[in-house]
Amino acid sequence: MKKTDVLIIGGGPAGIIAATTAKHTYPDKDVLLIRKEKEVLIPCGIPYIFGTLENSDQDVIPDTILSKDGVHLEIDEVISVNRKDKIARTVNGIDISFEKLVFATGSISYVPQWLKGTELENVFTVKKNREYLDEVKVKLQHCKRIVVIGGGFIGVEISDELNKIGKDVTIVEVLPHILCLAMDREIAIEAEKVIRARGVKLKTGIGAKEISGNGNVTGVLLENGEKVMCDMVILAIGYRPNSSLAKEAKLRIGYKGAIWVDEYMRTDDPDIFAVGDCVEKKCFVTRKLINVMLASTAASEARIAGENLYKLGVVKTFSGTIAIFSTVIGDTGFGSAGLTEEQAKKEGFDIVVGTSDSIDKHPGILSGAHKQKVKLVVAKKSGVILGGYVMGGISTGELINIIGMAIQNRMTVNSFLSLQIGTHPLLTASPMTYPIIKTAESLTWKVELGFRKEERQCQNGMKKGGISNE
């Protein structure tokens, strides 16, 4: 029988941060992280194993991130949790007693039942498993034509990487556009232009019906009867919460098979917490349950769990998921935070939207300058920012975080009018065209339209022909 105070199951970002935060917060407690993988990959780096990085070795998270903070590590697999006696049993037959347990068991790549032919040779998913991905890389050497089923972030990033190393790549996406679960339609269309110009073929608005082949895959049959020939298929249709262990331990399971947690990241057992992809998510804006899996969200949840293990910190709760995505195609960055215009309308929000165009350096003639486009989705009555996107250069990743922060702080477009920002010719747009402020500014007229119109009419003695800002 081994003994620890805090046991973390799972070695991805959520597990690591839960463990190190626990150790920081309760330095006298023993913290043990147990995981089955010999090595853990940086999950968002996985697509880049196929082109930009030389090999998967370069995408490994060093275990020193745990050891330097005094977290113990075991490579083993927990197969059952005895909640009554607070003991976890591993596949190697070791029993580990704990005071507090954290599930950080992550997610499993999804293979749809309705899709025929997924068992064929050279059909792969995007598993977060180094050996598996290394095998895909070996097989890739003999493949020329690849179909990627699923045009979300992972599918798009892998396609761009495979294209970069000379493969003939086709993305099959059943929705009208790639990336369109996260991005507004018009920006998804821009992303399509960029990736098409780089040589990736797109089949959008049409689903895959069957993967065909005889032993080896030979093609993908689409719903319209068209067949895309290929010698490898990558399924990038998403992930499902890995909650089987929690389920067997009779913990409450919530939306789409994810582990239910409260705002302190506690399961229905007060000594058991859960964080990351395996956990149910609630949208920050709509307050509805959603299906978003992001390392950055997981990190935030893990910090809260680590803090609250032994004593609840009240102010440190998780108040809902704001999906903040970013990606790069070629040299163009795409970022998205909160609700898209379409999502907001679907949810019944009374909104106004605005966009602005700028350049990420000033003057825009500077070498390396990249066009920027920003959109904000804003509640019409209150001016509160509900969502937005950024398309631009390398600073897109941090610009979308500024919009993310605005959403989290429930900032209004009015507050952006007096927002102070720093600008520099080589680093940002000019102070006169700084895109988030310009966009917010254009929206203040819309948000307050009723008031303004009336006021103007009074000033002008109800004269006709006033300019409408709608």
Helix (H, G, I), strand (E, B) or coil at 424: coil
Burial string for 142-159 (b: 16+ CB within 10 Å, else e) reads ebebbbbbbbbbbbbbbb
Binders of its own copies among residues 5 to 34 (CB under 8 A) are 13, 16-17, 21, 24-28
Q: Of 348 and 422, which CB lies nearer to its own copies in the complex structure?
A: 422
Q: Of 65 and 221, which CB lies nearer to its own copies in the complex structure?
A: 65
Separation of alpha carbons 275 and 321, rounded Å: 12
Closest CA to 378 of 360, 405, 351: 351
Strand order across the 168-173 sheet: 123-125, 232-235, 145-149, 168-173, 201-204
Binders of its own copies among residues 128 to 157 (CB under 8 A) are none
Q: Of 154 and 169, which CB lies nearer to its own copies in the complex structure?
A: 154
Rounded to a whole number of angstroms, the minimum distance from the CB of residue 217 to its own copies is 28
User: Are the C-beta atoms of 80 and 7 separated by less than 8 Å?
Assistant: no
Contact between 1 and its own copies per CB under 8 A: no
Strand 168-173 versus strand 145-149 pairing type: parallel
Rounded to a whole number of angstroms, the minimum distance from the CB of residue 425 to its own copies is 5
| Cα separations in angstroms, 178 against 35, 226, 427 | 34, 19, 30
Site string for its own copies, 51-70 (x = CB under 8 A): -xx----xxxx---x-----
Binders of its own copies among residues 306 to 345 (CB under 8 A) are 307, 310-311, 313, 315-319, 321-322, 324-328, 333, 335, 337
Rounded to a whole number of angstroms, the minimum distance from the CB of residue 122 to its own copies is 26
Rounded to a whole number of angstroms, the minimum distance from the CB of residue 215 to its own copies is 35
End-to-end CA distance of the chain: 70
Helix (H, G, I), strand (E, B) or coil at 43: helix
Separation of alpha carbons 158 and 151, rounded Å: 10
Rounded to a whole number of angstroms, the minimum distance from the CB of residue 143 to its own copies is 24
User: Are the C-beta atoms of 15 and 107 separated by less than 8 Å?
Assistant: no
Binders of its own copies among residues 164 to 203 (CB under 8 A) are none
Contact between 418 and its own copies per CB under 8 A: yes
Binders of its own copies among residues 382 to 401 (CB under 8 A) are 394-401
Contact between 243 and its own copies per CB under 8 A: no
Total residues at the site for its own copies (CB under 8 A)? Answer: 97
Cβ-based neighbour number of residue 298 at 10 Å: 28
CB under 8 A: which stretch of 96-104, 139-147, 358-366, 373-381 binds its own copies?
A: 358-366
Binders of its own copies among residues 426 to 465 (CB under 8 A) are 426-428, 430-432, 434, 437, 441, 445, 452, 455-456, 459-460
Binders of its own copies among residues 244 to 303 (CB under 8 A) are 284, 294-300, 303
Contact between 44 and its own copies per CB under 8 A: yes
User: Are the C-beta atoms of 292 and 323 separated by less than 8 Å?
Assistant: yes
